[in-house]
Structure 1
C-alpha cells in the first residue's frame, strides 16, 4: 500500500472538516479548558456526545448556535518534547542513525503517541415548550493511538536491522502475535450528524431530574485498527479515496470493494446512540450519568484484513523521516514492504468507542462552579480511551465578561494534566481559547500539545449559563 499522501490527507480532513484516543470535548473549547470535565457543565448543543440530559435543564439560553469550534492535541508518555515537536513540524526531515536508535527506544511504550483533532462545523440547540431541549450538529472526529512493544518499535525504526531478525536468523521465526504482543496502532476519522433531546421528568422545589437521548448517523472516512495479543492478531484497514492510496494488484480481486473519487467519500457507515440522566439537588448540586457512543460501524470500502502469520523480515531500514504517519502505515499496513499480508474483504463490523460518564458539580453562583468527572471505556476499539479518565474542573468569572477555566486531570493515556481556558462572555456571545495541559506545552518529559478555540458561539433568549 502506498501511503504517499497519507499525512496530507489527514491534514486535509482536519482543515476542511475541522481523534490519543479520542475524547469528545476537543471541539468544545469551554470543556477543553477544564481538561474535558464536562458531564455536569455542558449545556445546549455542547451536551451532544457528553450528556444529552443536560438539554432538559430549565433557565438556559432559548437558542444557542455555533460555527466552527475546533481543537487538536498530540501527547506522548515516552517521547521528549523536542521529539514530539519534530513529528509535527519537521515531517520532511530525514532521521539520522542516532535519531532512529533513540526513537526505537522511546516508542517502546503502551502510550508512545496519542493524537486527536475534532471539529464542530455547525451546531444548534433550541428550548421548546413542553418538549424540552433539542440540538443538532455536524462534527468530525479524528483519533490516533500508537503503543509498541520492543520488537515492534525496533522494526519500525531499524527495519531489516532490528535485533529480532538477528535472533531468529537460524530459522526459528515466531508468529506476529508472539513477536509483537502488546502492540497497538489505531487511527480513525468519523464524520457524524447528531440529533439530541433532553426533557425534565421531575420538577420539585429542591430536586429536578432530566433525561436525554442522542442519535448520530456516522460516515466512516477511514480506519486503521491493529491490535496484537499473545496468540491473537487483529488487523484491518478501510480508507477513503481522500487518502490517495495505491492498492496495486489488489484492485483486480473480485472480493475487493474499491472506492474511488474525491473529497470525504465515506467507506463505512454506522449509527450511534447516547443516553443520560441529570439531576439538580437543592440550588447548587448537579449530578450526571451518561453512556455515549453505543452502536456499530460497518466498513465496506477499500477493506483489507490480516490474520496471524510468521513474522516477515522487512526489506527497508524502517521509518526514515519524521513523516511518521505515512511511513508507519506503509510498514504496518499493506505496503510493498509491510509486516503483514493483507486479504481483501467485503465488509467488517466494529463497535463504536462506548464510554460511561459520571459527574458531580457544585454551582455556587453564576460566577463559580466546580465539578468532578470520571469517564470509563466500555470496550477496546479504535478511538476509545485506553484507560479511565478522572478530572476535577472549575469555571470562575472574576468579572462579568471573562470566564477562566482550569482543573486537574489524569488518565486516558495522557497522564497528569493542568488545563487552562479563557472565554470572553457577554449576554449573547462567547469566544475563547483553551488547552488541555499548560505544563505539557513547555515541559520536556511527557509532552502534551493541545489547543481548542471557538469564536462564533451565540446564546439568545433566556438566562445564559
Structure 2
C-alpha cells in the first residue's frame, strides 16, 4: 500500500488538542506567596498571616489549568529559511523534529477546583482550616506510535508494528471536604496535615489492555481490547456503544447523592534551617474513591482489517464520503458490551512538593526553588520552578517564577496578592505566554490579526477573594504586634519574649541570638563582651570574674591555674611560663635564678643546694665531687686542681708539699715518707739515714754481750769499760747519732723486778757514757725486762743471750755483741 495522507485531519485535531490540555493541577507560583490565605492547599504546614480568613463562595479560590507534557504551538508552525510561516507537515517542514519532541505517551490533562466554603483560624501556635471544594480531573493519554503512524505511514512494504496500548482516558468529578491542622512544634519545625472526605460525583476511566496495529502493503490489521468503567448519577440504558441511552430525568436528591466515597490526606512540614533559609516538603491529594452507583463496565474488542482506498486525493470532492465509509467499517469491527459491574476504585493524582526559600532584606524579598512531582497512573511528571518574591509590606505580595517542565523551559509565572481592609485579593498563574505569533483570521472579505501563544504547552491560573481578620501588623515579624512590641526592629528569626524583645536567658545583657555563651553565671554579670561571653582582659583563659591575677602577661597563656594565676608547678618561686627548669626539687627552693634554674654560685657544676663547698675557685671547676668540694683523689690533702703529683701513695699523706708532691726535707732524694732520717741527708741503702760504718755496726754487736753487770745489780763490771769507751768514741766521732740504750733480762725471777733491773742497767750505761762526755740529750735509756727475748729461756745459753744491753741508733737498730 502506498503511503497516504488520509489522516491529515486527524493529525491536526490531535495536535491541536494536545496543546490545550494540562499537566499542572496546581499553581506553582503561589507556593511562595505567604500572604495568600489558601496557600495551605499546596502544603498543609503553611500558616496564613491572618488570624482568621473566610473565602467567598466560588471566588474564595478558583483554579483552572490546561496543558500537556510534550508539545507547544511552535512545534507545529514556524518560519522557514525565507521567513515564511509554514507548519511541520509542509514539504519544507521538519516532521522528524516534531516527532522527536513527543514523549512515549503524550499526557493531556485538565483540572479545575472551585471552593464552595473555605475558612481557617489561629489558636496559639496552631492553625485550623476547613474547606469544601468541587474538583474535576481529566486525562487523555496518546501513544507516540499513533503519531508515528500518522506522520510516517507504513515505510516497510510488508510489516509495520505500532503499539497503542497506552491509549486511555480518565475523567473524575468529586466533592472534597477537608479539615486541616498545622502547628509550630518549635522554632524550627512546623508540621501540618489535612484529612479529606471525598464524595464522588462521577467517573469515566478507560484503558487499553492490548491495542496493536500491524500494517503492510496489502492490509492493515488493528487488534486489541480494552474497557471503560463508568459511575455517575446518570444511569445508562443499552448494551453497546451504538445503542446506549443515558437517563437524564433524575431528581435533585439523586443528583446530589454521591456515586462513590473515599478519603484523602495531605501531609506537610517546614523546617527553618537558618533564620533566612526555610525548607518545606508536602504530599497532597493522596486519596481514593470507591465507586458504587450506576456502575457500568463497557468492554470492547476490535479486529479491524483495512485493505486501502484507490485513487484517493486530499483535494477530491468525495473525500468526506470515502472517509466516512472507512469510519463506518471501523465502527462495525468493534465488538462492545455494556454490563453492570462491581464497585471499583479510582485514585487521585498525588503531588510531591519540595521547596527551599532564602529570605533577605528582613524578609522583604526572597528567592525560592520548588520541585513538583505529579504521579499519574504510576508515571511521574517532574517540574522545577524558581521564584523571586517581593513583599515590602504585609498587605502586598508579588511573585515571579520560571519553570522547567519535563525538560522544557520558557515557562514564566506571575502572582499578585493584595489586602485592602478586610478583603484579600490574589491572582496567580503559571506558564504565562511571553512569545506570541500573529495569526490572520479571514472572514469573507475581512481579515483579522491576533496574537497566539507560541512557546507554551500549558496555562494554569488561580484567583481568590477572602475576608481576612486579625492580620497583625508585625514589621519585624517576631510574632508580637507592633503596638505591643517594645523592640520593633528585632532581626528576623530571633526568639523574643512577650514584649517582642530578644530573649536573654542567662540575663547577662546580651540577647540569646547574639550570645555565644548562653549559660553565663550570675557572678559574671557586668563582665561580658558583646558576644555575651565573660571578659578575659588578660586573655589567660580565665574570665575576669574568676581571675585573681588579672594582669597575667601574654607569655603565660596556657600556664595558669583555675584562679588565673601563673602556675609554679615545682614551687620554686618562678612561674612555669618563665621556668626553664620546671622540675626543681623542694630542697632547692630559694636557691634558683630568675629562669627557675638551680643556682651554682661558684660555677662548679654542683647546685648551691647540694654544694658543701660553695666557694670553689674557678680553677677547680671540673675537679669537684658530688658535694661541690674539690677532689683530692690521692687523699694527700692537696686538691686535684693544684696537685702536680696526683698519685701520691697512702704512706705519703701528710708528707707532701703545696703541690701535692712528697716532701724531701733533707734533700737526699729520698721522700720523707720513706726517709727514716728525714732531716738528715742519708742514703737509700740506709732508708734515708746517713750510712753507718761497718766497724761501728760490729762494735754495737759486741756490746750486746760485752757489757757485764754484777749479778742482780745494775753496777757495771769494770771489764765492760773498754767496750763502753769505744762506744763513747763512736758517739763523739758521729755527733748526728742518737741512740737508745735498751736493757733486757731473762725470765728467771719476778718479771716486775726484772723490768726494774733492766731499766736500771740501761740507765747505768747511759750515765757511764755521759760521764765520757756524751751529751745526755743524744741518749735515752729504756728497760724491757724479759719481754723481748732473742732466744729461749729454757737453756743457760739462751738465757745468757737474753740478758743483754742494746744500742739502737734512731735510724737503724744495731745490736752490739
What TM-score range do you get, normalising by the shorter chain?
Answer: 0.5 to 0.7
Larger Rg: 2
Once residues 428 and 52 of structure 1 are traced to their aligned partners in structure 2, the CA distance between those partners, rounded to angstroms, is 24
Name the structure 1 match of 2:366.
369
Query: Using a 3 Å threshold, how does the CA distance of structure 1 residues 280 and 213 change in structure 2: closer, same or farther?
Result: farther
Match among 291, 304, 324 for residue 297 of structure 2: 304
Between 140-149 and 261-270, the greater mean CA deviation after superposition = 261-270
Q: Secondary structure at the match of 1:150?
A: helix
Q: Which residue of 1 aligns with 2:232?
A: 240
Structure 1 residue 134, shift from structure 2 partner: 2.7
Could you say what secondary structure the match of 1:304 adopts? strand
Q: Secondary structure at the match of 1:47?
A: helix
Q: CA RMSD, aligned part only?
A: 4.8
* Counterpart for residue 410 of structure 1: 404
**Structure 1 pair 79–363 and aligned structure 2 pair: CA distance change class (3 A):** closer
Q: Who is 1:347 aligned against?
A: 343
The corresponding residue for 2:39 is 46
Partner of 1:15: none
Preserved CA contact (<8 Å) 2:189 2:269: no
Q: Quote the Cα distance in structure 1 between the aligned partners of 2:43 and 2:111.
A: 21
Deviation at 1:340, TM superposition (A): 6.9
Shift of 1:376: 2.4
Note if 1:388 corresponds to 2:388: no
Aligned to 1:217: 198
The answer to whether structure 1 residue 428 and structure 2 residue 438 are counterparts is no
Deviations 1:195-228 (A, max 9, x none): 2332325224xx2432323323232423334256
- Quick one: structure 1 residues 116 and 405, their matched pair in 2 at CA, closer, same or farther if it must change by over 3 Å? same
Equivalent residues in 2 for 1:37-186, closer than 5 Å:
37=31, 41=34, 44-48=37-41, 50-55=42-47, 60-67=50-57, 68=59, 69-76=61-68, 77-78=70-71, 80=73, 110-111=105-106, 113-129=108-124, 132-151=127-146, 179-181=163-165, 183-186=166-169
C-alpha displacement of 1:45? 3.7
Deviation at 1:451, TM superposition (A): 5.0
In the TM superposition, residue 127 of structure 1 has moved relative to its aligned partner by: 1.5
Alignment partners' CA distance in 2, 1:152 and 1:338:
22
Q: Is contact 1:198-1:212 (8 Å) kept?
A: yes
Contact preservation (8 Å) 2:116, 2:131: no
Structure 1 counterpart of 2:471? 462
Cα deviation for residue 82 of structure 1 reads 11
Q: Is the 2:178–2:195 contact (alpha carbons within 8 Å) kept by the matching residues of 1? A: yes
- Contact in 2 for aligned 1:277/1:290 (Cα 8 Å): yes
Distance 1:413 1:298 in 2: 35
User: 1:380 Cα deviation (Å)?
Assistant: 1.8
Q: Is the CA contact 1:199–1:212 (under 8 Å) kept in the aligned structure 2?
A: yes
Query: In structure 2, what is the equivalent of residue 450 of structure 1?
Result: 459
Q: 1:430 to 1:62 in 2, by over 3 A?
A: closer
| Conservation of the 8 A alpha-carbon contact between 2:73 and 2:457 | no
How far residue 234 of structure 1 moved from its aligned partner, in angstroms, is 6.0
User: Do the aligned residues in 1 keep the contact of 2:228 with 2:298 (CA within 8 Å)?
Assistant: yes
Query: In structure 2, what is the Cα distance between the partners aligned to 1:230 and 1:209?
Result: 49
- Distance in structure 2 (CA, Å) of the matches to 1:348 and 1:463: 49
C-alpha distance in 2 between matches for 1:163 and 1:311:
19
How far is the alpha carbon of 1:454 from its aligned partner?
2.8
Report if the CA contact (8 A) 2:283-2:351 is conserved: yes
**Correspondence for 2:715:** none
Aligned length in residues: 384
- Structure-2 change in CA distance of 1:396 and 1:353 (3 Å): same
Higher relative strand content:
1
TM-score (norm 1): 0.65
List alignment gaps of at least 5 residues for structure 2. Answer: 1-20, 78-88, 213-223, 310-325, 438-452, 478-817
Distance change (3 Å), C-alpha of 1:197 and 1:394: same
3-state SS of 2:411 partner: coil
Residue 196 of structure 2 is aligned to residue 199 of structure 1 = no
Q: After the TM superposition, which of the residue ranges 356-365 and 436-445 deviates more from structure 2?
A: 436-445
Per-residue CA deviations over 1:125-152 (Å, capped at 9, x if unaligned) read 1223475323323232333334233337
Deviations 1:169-210 (A, max 9, x none): xxx998xxx6314x3433323323232332325224xx2432
The Cα offsets for residues 66-115 of structure 1, whole Å up to 9 and x where unpaired, read as: 4323233333433527989xxxxxxxxxxxx99xxx99x88975336443
